[in-house]
């Protein structure tokens, strides 16, 4: 099973105990499938400490950006002019890991699939 990349919407869905998000999360944990969250998504999601947020962060791999990732993100933005930087970064992270993206912004991320054709996008 491929790793998962959760964006901000994926984290919010988990925090709110949305059925699909919880099912995917629990299955990934049982099957020991990595769940990766770009650090910028954590920053966008985090609005103060709660027990739920702390537990979620303990269960995922928070990936920080590096030079290669930000350059790939910039190239995706150049190829997809209307894309948002955070969406391009999420897709670049998924491409790096051969991961599937779990998001509430399906349409925005699908627009980036022209640059990242191997990345699958699943909706919350």
Distance CA 109, CA 32 (A): 25
Q: Regarding beta strands 120-123 and 61-63, do their DSSP bridges make them parallel or antiparallel, or are they unpaired? A: unpaired
pLDDT of residue 1: 82
Domains of the chain: 4-123 (3.40.50.1010)
| β-bridge pairing 35-38 and 4-6 | parallel
Mean pLDDT, range 30-48, rounded to an integer:
97
pLDDT 10s digits, 79-121: 999 999 999 999 999 999 999 999 999 999 999 999 999 999 9
pTM: 0.96
């Amino acid at each position: 099973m491929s790793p998962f990349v959760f964006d901000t919407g994926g984290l919010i869905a988990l925090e709110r105990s949305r059925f699909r998000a919880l099912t995917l999360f629990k299955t990934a944990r049982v099957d020991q499938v990595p769940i990766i969250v770009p650090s910028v998504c954590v920053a966008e999601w985090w609005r103060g400490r709660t027990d739920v947020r702390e537990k979620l962060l303990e269960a995922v791999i928070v990936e920080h950006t590096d030079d290669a990732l930000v350059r790939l993100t910039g190239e995706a933005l150049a190829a997809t002019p209307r894309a948002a930087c955070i969406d391009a970064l999420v897709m670049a992270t998924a491409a790096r890991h051969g991961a599937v993206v779990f998001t509430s912004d399906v349409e925005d991320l699908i627009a980036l699939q022209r640059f990242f054709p191997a990345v699958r996008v699943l909706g919350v």
